[in-house]
Structure 1
Amino acid sequence: MMTNLFSSFDPLSIINLSLNWISTMLGILFISWSFWMIPSRWNFLWMNIYSILHNEFKILIGSKIKGSTLTFISLFSIIVMNNILGLFPYIFTSTSHMVMTLSLAMPLWLSFMIFGWINNTNYMFEHLVPQGTPSILMPFMVCIETISNIIRPGTLAVRLAANMIAGHLLLTLLGNTGPSMSLIMINVLIMIQIMLLILELAVAIIQSYVFAILSTLYSSEVN
């Protein structure tokens, strides 16, 4: 039994060498071969996913900045691979840590804000007051919109990290009760764990899509 439930998220170290973030780059090992070998079903699957995401992001962003959808498709790929790899035993789940999620969300948000305030200053000021707002409520709406803009990277980071942590903690908590159960209950527990793993796989994909689509929506607001 673990003395601390959150110890499942502790970093792995060998000979005082931290191996935390090596798992973040493992996805590259699974991608690289597909670009050099004969196209396979795996390759066609990813190309179809990229095509679907490109069409969706293009509708939201528009055609003002060509190639901008590639940024968000890459963001989706990085997050979904780290989420799925984190479901395997003894692989460090980097997306369950705020260091990783904030490192993805903060630079995107800063770049959107800098781009918007430099190139579309009037539009950014207009966006602080929704259309049809009474004059007496305008100062309050400016404060609310400003706060909502400032907390966006935090909400993106917390949403992804919290969803990854919640599922992993539930799997760990149920797994630790196994040694004290009877044979029949262990079989039931295994079935529950399998269903939870399938649910976590769906959550891993959905949260990657949510992170990418929200980033796309934030970028479309500054154009």
Structure 2
Amino acid sequence: MSNSHVDVIVLGAGASGLMLAAHAAKRGRSVLILEKANKIGKKILMSGGGKCNFTNLYVEPDNYISHNPHFVISALSRYSNWDFIGLVCDYKIAYEERKHGQLFTLNGAKEILEMLVSECNKTQNVDIQTHCEVGQITPLEKGGFSLNTNQGHYTCDSLVIATGGLSIPTLGGSGFGYELAQKFGHQVFPTRAGLVPFTFSDHIKEVTTRLSGNALDVT
């Protein structure tokens, strides 16, 4: 068990958490990533059928659904798809373009995960702990946060929620991040499913089973 202070604690070792940790470390911050699963980047490894659709050639603010469209404009002006494509090229990761400008790795999603981990390791300011269950989180009077976990007690100046959404519970998806955000006074909008398959279990299943493998572009 440990008891320590770091500049930044990131909850979640997925794509967002790893990317943020790498950039915070480059700014001289000490970073601790806490991941409840046994491995990091599980969703990265399964994305794109294992080939990771890591970005798109055509990324514009209008492509995003957001309650605050100005945020998307600001975010993409600071770090665009071309910045990430450049990073992929720096690591000599082979990729291909598919329909609608989608970019996929040729040799597997593991290369994207390894790239993000390498970025975190560049400064030696990032520590990653898996199997870490976070319990009580409380704000400190002088600023910052206190966290109790199954691996010890930690304090930090900045706390980042990068726990992902509700999708794929078997890979760690949960409402933990939403609940935590609400606890600290952030407005959380109702969630809704996106990019999910239709699942049939009644008489329609028999019909759709026979149609398996067929594809049709629709709007």
Higher relative contact order (CA 8 A, sep 6+): 1
Q: TM-score, normalised by structure 2?
A: 0.22
Q: TM-score, normalised by structure 1?
A: 0.22
Q: Larger strand proportion, structure 1 or 2?
A: 2
